[in-house]
Amino acid sequence: MSGRALLMWDEAVTGYDFGPQHPMDPVRLALTMGLVRAFGLDRAVDVVAAKPAGDSTLRLVHREDYVAAVKAASADPRHADQAYGLGTVDDPAFAGMHEASALIAGQSVAAAEAVWRGEAEHAVNFAGGLHHAMPGGAAGFCIYNDVSLAIARLLELGVERVAYVDVDVHHGDGVQAAFWEDPRVLTVSLHEHPRTLFPQTGWPEETGAAGPGEGGAVNVALPAGTGDAGWLRAFHAVVPELLADFRPQVLVTQHGADTHFDDPLAHLAVSLDAQRAVQEACHELAHACADGRWLALGGGGYAVVDVVPRSWTHLVGIAAHAPVAPETVVPSSWRDEVYARTRQLGPGRMTDGRWPVDFRAWTAGYDPADRLDQAVLATRRAAFPLRGLLA
């Protein structure tokens, strides 16, 4: 297996653009790649532009009639069919929507193929992670579910066990739905509690289809306001034990940056430093449990200047085995780019000033009156026995 990492990038992914008033501003992708280049990380990875996913690949997950509806809306946004979730407030139709969405999906699928075939040890597609799209509809800013397509392609290639870990603030509902009945895929999602955030799913009791799929879905519903120590405590109380038991052949992770305390669309209080700590933990788990095979994807994140570029640049650095130290000063050339593109001042360092982030390990005991511990207990009690693990 090559020790090199792949970074999937094609400038055309910034064409995934719902319009100037939409929170998912593609400038976050351009600024991330700009920061990657400013740190020279593009020389520590192999930068690859893959082809868009074709119809046969899209149909691994998506219904043929839905793909046709996306193409129709893409050719003429006036023909967007809201029955498919297209032309809505969350997912406005735009010219070229199919092409941009298929391109992002193609990057994730190609990255998965390269990791499985040993052409690269790790691969990153920070434009991906569009985890809400369903087989027959768009949802939550997501047209095609590149995550599910990458996993489905791995299964098509003969992979017998894929683990998916989603730390976006929103529940990874589309990926869970795609593999609800499939024992070859373990989906684990840590997210803000569905009582307070879209998509109102991801309860601990959602554990997979009865029968072979039972125990294949694990959900940690975190209380609004959860900060660094609680977020890391929950992650380490659930994820490492599950992965050690499941022994995935490939680890796929989704790193939505919208858990951050500055994110305008959600209510967790996580810092950039804690996000970096989870990225490092996922890297270590890939080596410990999946022979190093790791596909890391982006996702949500709507603080498009201050948070997203720094978070995903850390992800690229970790995957490249060239991590950026948290105290590092952000290059002035990138801050100039930020101002030129957005008329905003960019952040000065690659930290929120909370590194190293400390948390109390689950093995040290728990407090049944603590809301965070109650959330972890609910998950462990609902899902762990189904996998033969102690709650």
Task: Reduce the secondary structure of the chain to three states and give it as a string.
Answer: CCCCEEEECCHHHHHCCCCCCCCCCCHHHHHHHHHHHHCCHHHCCEEECCCCCCHHHHCCCCCHHHHHHHHHHHHCHHHCCHHHCCCCCCCCCCCCHHHHHHHHHHHHHHHHHHHHCCCCCEEEECCCCCCCCECCECECCECCCHHHHHHHHHHHCCCCCEEEEECCCCCCHHHHHHCCCCCCEEEEEEEECCCCCCCCCCCCCCCCCCCCCCCCEEEEEECCCCEHHHHHHHHHHHHHHHHHHHCCCEEEEECCCCCECCCCCCCCEECHHHHHHHHHHHHHHHHHHCCCCEEEECCCCCCCCCCHHHHHHHHHHHHCCCCCCCCCECCHHHHHHHHHHHCCCCCCECCCCCCCCCCCCHHHCCCCCCHHHHHHHHHHHHHHHHHCCCC
What integer pLDDT is reported at residue 204 of this predicted model?
98
What integer pLDDT is reported at residue 157 of this predicted model?
98
- Answer for the pair 110, 51: CB distance below 8 angstroms, yes or no: yes
Residue 1: which pLDDT band, with cuts at 50, 70 and 90?
A: low
Handedness of CA 267, 273, 279, 282 (dihedral sign): negative
Average pLDDT over all residues of the chain: 98
Q: What is the pLDDT of residues 69-100, one digit of tens each?
A: 999 999 999 999 999 999 999 999 999 999 99
Cα separation, 29 vs 9, whole angstroms: 10
Q: Euclidean distance between the first and final Cα of the chain, in Å? A: 36
- pLDDT surpassing 70 at residue 276: yes
Structure tokens at 158: 């003969």
Percentage above 90 pLDDT, the chain:
99
What integer pLDDT is reported at residue 93 of this predicted model?
98
Using the structure block, give the residue that is written with the tokens 């788990």: 285
CA triple 87-92-93, angle to 5 deg: 75
Handedness of CA 50, 272, 289, 252 (dihedral sign): negative
What integer pLDDT is reported at residue 3 of this predicted model?
77
Structure tokens at 369: 């009156």
What integer pLDDT is reported at residue 6 of this predicted model?
98
Cα separation, 75 vs 70, whole angstroms: 9
What integer pLDDT is reported at residue 205 of this predicted model?
98
Mean pLDDT to the nearest integer, 213-230 = 98
Mean pLDDT to the nearest integer, 57-77 = 98
Mean pLDDT to the nearest integer, 245-253 = 98
Using the structure block, give the residue that is written with the tokens 């102690």: 390
- In the residue annotation, 132 being an active-site residue is answered as yes
- pLDDT surpassing 90 at residue 33: yes
Catalytic residue among 62, 98, 132, 193: 132
Q: What is the pLDDT of residues 94-139, one digit of tens each?
A: 999 999 999 999 999 999 999 999 999 999 999 999 999 999 999 9
Q: What is the pLDDT of residues 281-304, one digit of tens each?
A: 999 999 999 999 999 999 999 999
- pLDDT surpassing 90 at residue 47: yes
What integer pLDDT is reported at residue 175 of this predicted model?
98
